[in-house]
Structure formats: structure tokens, C-alpha cells
Amino acid sequence: MSLKITIATRESRLALWQAEHVKALLQQRGHQVTLLGMTTRGDQILDRSLSKVGGKGLFVKELETALEEGRADIAVHSLKDVPMDLPPGFALAGVMAREDPRDAWVSPHYGRLEDLPTGAVVGTSSLRRTVLLRALRPDLRIEPLRGNLDTRLRKLDEGLYAGIVLAAAGLKRLGLAARIRHVFDTEQMLPAAGQGALGIETRAGRAELAQALAPLADAATTLCTAAERAVSRAMGGSCSMPLAAHATLEGTQMLLRAAWGDPEGAPGLVRASERADVRTPEQAEALGQRVAAALRAGGAH
């Protein structure tokens, strides 16, 4: 059955790429698809870190309003921006195959983080990246960096930072892979829950729409991100928490690793990991809860 589907999307270049990507996949399956571009509170507030103004959910709320009012049928999000618990009446209808989940080092003068002189300024507004960077190089100055991808690159090029850390996935999707000087190994910089994956949000109970979206979902990414998001949910689930969680799946064997750091404290990390047989979302959720418990036992809060 062919459906008319309107996609609510932020108007940043990356968000529009993501929405256009989903639009093209749905059109290939015979659906009629249009975009509804929107500016969110997260896009408007650029002078404060997200952790201080309400978290990454600020990128999602206006899109959910469009779904609730019937102006749009689905919203396409970077999964790492989606709150761990959706409001009543909303559903995560699908998680798509993951792009590169790792963090990328971008700098005009320094090929790697190790090359920076003592006291150099590195830009990021992610608490997760802040604590991971501090664990690697406690001598650096970590300064806030807000704005969309193009804005962050412009601030770097203006000389405000010696280097910045960005998601490799976004750079690759926008054809900016040449800006990447180095991709961090996940042992160095453990990704955020859901990093590199796209999530499709809908109103709950729309069976025909869920059926149309089902072919876009990726089973392995769905399981891995369910485990990652379970860690975050069990730990409190907000972007004001310096938490990393990343899962990999080989056959049915999932390895889930997590790390937590104190944003105000010493540059050490609490780490936890577990390997388990995972075949269902429920098993992924249970694994995430066990890893979160191990983090708390190690001193994370």
C-alpha cells in the first residue's frame, strides 16, 4: 500500500541530509513523501551547553509537536539525540543501519590529539567527550563548542580552537570526510549511546505507517542501540551525564562497553563491560541494565 508521508526535520544541513535519505528510501518503495523543515529550541540556544538548558531533547520536542498535531507523520533523528524515554503516545518505529559510530579528530595543524602542545584548546560541548578527552590529555583546555556542523567547522577555521572532536558519521554523510585528520579508536573515545544511527519516531498505534517503515530498520543496529540506550536509561538518561556506551555484535554475541567520568572531578574513568548472547530487544535491555549496575558499583552516579 502506498502512503502519503510527511517527515518533520530540523533544517540543519545534516538533519536535512538524514531526512532526504529516509525520503529516498521510502519513495523507492512507492510512497509519496514530503519534508516539513523546522527550527528547534536546540538550534536556537547556542550560548549555553545543552546540559544546562534541557538536554538533547530540545532537538526533538518541536518535531514531536508536529507529529502530535498531525502536520507530520514521522520524524528522523540522530538516535543519540533522542531521549531514552519517549513521551506517552510516541514510538521509536525503526532504527536504521549505523554509519561509523566513532569520534573524529578535526584540526588544521595537528594530525592527532597526541600532537597538541600542553594547554592547547580543544572544542566540544559534549560532557562525554570532555571526560574522555580529559582522561587522555588532562593538560588540555576543553572549551564549549555549540552550533551545527558547519558552524563548528567555521569556528575551528577561525582559529578559536587547536582542534575539535565531532562524530565521524556526520562528516561522512555530508561529504566532509576529508576534514577528518584521525578517527579515534573506541578504546580511546567510547561513542555515545546510539551514535551514528538514525531513529524514526512516530505516533504510537499507526500500524500501516509502522509496516511501511519496517523495511528501513536494521536488526543488528536495533539490538546494539537498545543495549546502549538501556545503560543510559538506567543511569538517568540525560545529556547532562558524562556517559559513553557502545555495543558490537558478532553473530549473537554482543559486547557492551560503557564508561563514565566525573565532569567536575579527577580525569579518571569508571569502565564496565560484559559479553552475552543477545537475540532479542529484551536480552539487549537486560545486558544494558547489568552494565549500568557495574558502573554504579564502580563509583559512577
Q: Tell me the torsion sign for CA atoms 290, 291, 292, 297.
A: positive
Q: How many CB atoms lie within 10 A of CB 27?
A: 12
Instruction: Collapse the DSSP code of 106 into the 3-class scheme (helix H, G, I; strand E, B; otherwise coil) and give the result.
Output: strand
Q: How many Cα atoms occupy the beta-carbon half-sphere of 51 within 13 Å?
A: 17
C-alpha cell at 11: 533544517
- CB-CB contact of 235 with 300 (8 Å): yes
Pairing of strands 90-95, 198-203: antiparallel
- The answer to whether 103 is a known catalytic residue is no
Q: Please give the Cα distance from 128 to 107 (Å, whole number).
A: 20
- CB-CB contact of 43 with 54 (8 Å): no
Q: Please give the Cα distance from 133 to 142 (Å, whole number).
A: 8
List 43, 47, 73, 81, catalytic entry: 81
- CB-CB contact of 163 with 141 (8 Å): no
Phi/psi of residue 213, nearest 5 degrees: -85, -20
C-alpha triplet 153, 137, 162: angle, nearest 5°: 25
Pairing of strands 103-106, 182-183: antiparallel
Integer angstrom CA distances of residue 213 from 23, 24, 89, 182: 11, 12, 18, 35
Q: Please give the Cα distance from 300 to 292 (Å, whole number).
A: 9
- Catalytically annotated residues: 81
